[in-house]
């Protein structure tokens, strides 16, 4: 969605001090990790578009730490990291590594890594997929007691390749796959980086689902679409929204990005063909004007109070009976529980699979 928040600033002397850097290497190399011993699978998940993870660490650390400590997720999926990939000008990029190519970037990386080496994040291993600039990017935090069999950074499951803008992290566990995506915004026009880009993305998602149906999937992230009218606070407002008076030639492309008829129809097709269940809507069938949305517009201006649910947990039908809870952690038009972002965290908890025996369970 369109952002309403200030860009990353240099760290000032008023920034809260963070614990010293951990000497442990925290980044994956893009080729996955070796399969570990048979362990209990993750059952608690959080997804969040942080709208600059560095800013959230600098400005909202105590609240964010409390959320993670209280819910104690096994996996945390972040979108819009907005930290550039390593590799200076004219040099090859390492999209799985934070840049420290300038003094400012080194300082920013140090702030972030200090925070991530301290509780509660010190208990997680992190994988990054980053853009070339402070744009987009994703991160995946997995508790160290859970070892993915493989981690990919693209929908094609090719080792070391990263999607443009770092939009995908795919972790393969023994009994399921977890897909974290920052799906492209549809935009307002019939252009390469707007409607056309989103159509291509949706087609690739369908292809991915058809090629990975051998194992249940948990797909989470900012999917940048509101499927039904119940998923927006003001359906008429979003259905008739325009940018500078422009009206697309195809009426199916009219309206707020994320709520156009064409996007919503394609999303329905994706869910049907992928046999996916919307975990939140599976449990919450009635409208919730207080805490039923994950994105909120600028508190000042015409988008005040206008909210959408565009952040999801979609799970394969085989997993739906294991859904214990799926919750939006933000509420109200004053962005309570958004922790400085324009999106709030969303959590999912699954029950343990009945097939697990006691000897295969490892305590956190």
Active site (annotated) includes residue 135: no
**Can you say whether residue 82 is alpha, beta or left, with left for phi > 0 and alpha for psi between -120 and 50 degrees?**
left
Active site (annotated) includes residue 100: no
* 3-state DSSP assignment of residue 13: coil
Phi then psi for residue 168, to 5 deg, are -140, 135
> Which entry of 124, 152, 182, 339 is annotated as an active-site residue?
182
Pairing of strands 217-222, 177-182: parallel
55, 57, 66, 101, 106 from 112: Cα distances, Å? 9, 7, 17, 15, 10
- CB-based contact 289:235 (threshold 8 Å): no
- CB-based contact 317:282 (threshold 8 Å): no
DSSP 204-266: HHHHHHHHSTTS-EEEEEE-----SGGGBS-HHHHHT--BTTB--SSGGG-SSTT--HHHHHH
**Helix%, strand%, coil% for the chain, nearest 5:** 25, 25, 50
Spatial neighbors of 241 by CB under 8 A, at least 6 apart, are: 255, 256, 259
> Which entry of 222, 231, 278, 342 is annotated as an active-site residue?
222
Catalytic residue positions? 182, 222
């Amino acid at each position: 969605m369109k952002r309403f928040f200030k860009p990353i600033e240099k760290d000032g002397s008023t920034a809260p001090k963070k614990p010293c850097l951990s000497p442990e290497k925290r980044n994956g190399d893009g080729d996955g990790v070796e399969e570990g011993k048979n362990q209990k699978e993750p059952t608690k998940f959080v997804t969040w578009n942080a709208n600059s993870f560095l800013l959230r660490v600098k400005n909202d650390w105590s609240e964010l730490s409390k959320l993670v400590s209280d819910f104690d997720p096994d996996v945390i999926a972040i979108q819009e990291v907005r930290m550039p990939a390593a590799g200076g000008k004219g040099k090859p990029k390492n999209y799985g590594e934070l840049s420290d190519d300038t003094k400012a970037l080194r300082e920013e990386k140090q702030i972030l890594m200090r925070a991530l080496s301290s509780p509660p994040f010190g208990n997680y291993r992190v994988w990054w997929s980053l853009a070339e600039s402070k744009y987009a990017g994703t991160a995946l935090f997995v508790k160290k007691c859970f070892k993915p069999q493989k981690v990919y950074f693209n929908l094609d499951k090719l080792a070391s390749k990263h999607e443009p803008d770092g939009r995908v992290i795919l972790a393969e566990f023994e009994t399921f796959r977890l897909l974290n995506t920052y799906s492209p915004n549809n935009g307002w026009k019939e252009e390469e980086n707007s409607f056309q880009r989103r159509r291509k993305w949706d087609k690739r998602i369908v292809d991915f689902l058809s090629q990975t149906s051998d194992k249940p999937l948990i797909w989470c992230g900012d999917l940048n679409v509101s499927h039904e009218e119940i998923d927006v606070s003001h359906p008429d407002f979003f259905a008739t929204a325009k940018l500078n008076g422009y009206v697309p030639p195809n009426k199916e492309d009219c309206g707020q990005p994320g709520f156009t008829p064409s996007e919503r129809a394609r999303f329905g097709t994706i869910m049907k063909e992928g046999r996916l269940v919307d975990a939140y809507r599976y449990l919450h069938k009635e409208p919730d004007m207080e805490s039923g949305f994950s994105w909120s517009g600028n508190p000042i201006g015409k988008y005040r109070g206008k909210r959408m649910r565009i952040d999801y947990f979609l799970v394969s039908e085989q997993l739906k009976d294991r859904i214990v809870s799926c919750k939006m952690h933000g509420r109200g038009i004053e962005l309570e529980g958004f922790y400085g972002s324009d999106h709030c965290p969303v959590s999912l908890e699954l029950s343990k699979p009945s097939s697990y025996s006691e000897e295969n369970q490892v305590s956190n």
